[in-house]
Amino acid sequence: MVCGRPDTDVRQCPLSLEKWSELIVGPLQIILGLVVDTNEMTVRMSDEYLSEVRVLITEKWNCKRRFFRVNDMHKLVGKLARLGEAAPWVYKLMSHLYTSLASALKMNKEFLEKSSPSFRALCEKINKKQFNTCHSELQREVCYAMKHAAKMINNHKVVYHINETMREELNLFAQALSASPIIKFSTPIAFIIPRTPSASIFGDSSLLACGGYSTTLKFWWHLDFPAEIISRTLLHIPSEKDDERFISINCLEYITIIINYCAAQFSMPRTKAVTTIHIQLSCASQTI
């Protein structure tokens, strides 16, 4: 509108002409590996993107790899997080990867603060805003310094060990990406649109029993755990690490979530409309 039609002989084109020519008006659009299908009303990952992630995990993050750098972990987390755009369950598996990355970033900062005078001076300037510039350019200088400090932290060459839990999550992703027709990286568009919950359900669990209720759906329930379950909790097994029979309180709380799901499905009106349920369990909550 301002400069007229693209003329690369005269000036640089502000648009990516390659992407512009590939963008076709139609019900199927591919955006950075994400396929949006407005006929089927679904989003899914393209086969090409899944293949890239599969190669990344099998070749660079296989069982032979024992150590990682922050920069390599950033690339892996970015690729896997993109899968969550079409398969929200991916985010549930990435907790330890995020924890490992955050821990490594923190350690990199500590190493640089101990070993790099230039990094310490840069951090001091950022904190005190000690830049030789006028007030109008101060924000730009601070942003540049923060970007430079972030690059130093991310590109630090310290290596970190891949522990057992991190290896298990990598193996789970490798299995999920093994071209199995059972696991699909796709979801209906209606399931990923934020919406106001139609009803709220509350529940909790102890080592003896669990229960839940909803005033909107007009139900409540209570369940006493069998004696064989109670005998495998902290009430009778003090050390959870040394006994394979041990049942964690997290498992008992998960039972509460499952029963709340079943109760919601039984109590909701039998309509074809999409219904959103907010389930709150103790301090944790989620919306479906």
Half-sphere exposure (CA, 13 Å, Cβ side) for 142?
12
- Residue 203 — φ and ψ, nearest 5°? -165, 165
- Per-residue pLDDT of 229-282, as tens digits, reads 999 888 888 765 567 788 888 889 989 999 998 998 888 765 445 556 666 665
Domain boundaries, the chain: 24-193, 195-287
Q: For residue 70, with 0-12 CB atoms within 10 Å meaning exposed, 13-18 middle and 19 or more buried, which class applies?
A: buried
Per-residue pLDDT of the chain (288 residues; tens, 9 = 90+): 566 777 778 877 777 777 777 777 888 888 888 999 999 999 999 989 999 999 998 888 988 888 888 888 888 888 988 998 898 888 888 877 888 888 888 888 888 877 788 777 777 777 766 555 555 566 677 777 778 788 888 888 888 888 888 888 888 888 888 866 778 889 999 888 887 878 888 999 999 999 999 988 889 999 999 999 999 888 888 765 567 788 888 889 989 999 998 998 888 765 445 556 666 665 455 555
> Residue 48 and residue 33: Cα distance in Å, rounded?
7
Residue with token string 């540049």: 144
Task: Please say whether the beta carbons of 126 and 145 come within 8 A.
Answer: yes
Which of 29, 1, 27 has its CA nearest to residue 15?
A: 1
So what's the pLDDT on residue 43?
Answer: 94
Distance CA 256, CA 261 (A): 9
What is the four-CA torsion angle of 238, 241, 247, 249, rounded to 10 degrees?
80
Q: Which pLDDT belongs to residue 288?
A: 53
Question: What local confidence, expressed as pLDDT, does residue 283 receive?
Answer: 45
Give the amino acid at 160: Y
- Tell me how crowded residue 228 is: count the other CB atoms within 10 A of its CB: 9
User: How much is the pLDDT for 223?
Assistant: 93
Cα–Cα separations (whole angstroms), residue 213 to 75, 219, 220? 43, 6, 4
**pLDDT score for 269:** 66
Which residue blocks in 116-198 are alpha helix, DSSP H?
117-128, 135-154, 164-176, 189-192
pLDDT of residue 15: 72
Residue 101 is encoded by which pair of tokens?
């990355």
Interior angle at CA 37, CA 35 and CA 42, nearest 5: 90
Residue 232 has phi, psi (to 5 degrees) of: -110, 15
* The pTM of the whole model exceeds 0.75: no
* Encoded tokens for 198: 């139609």
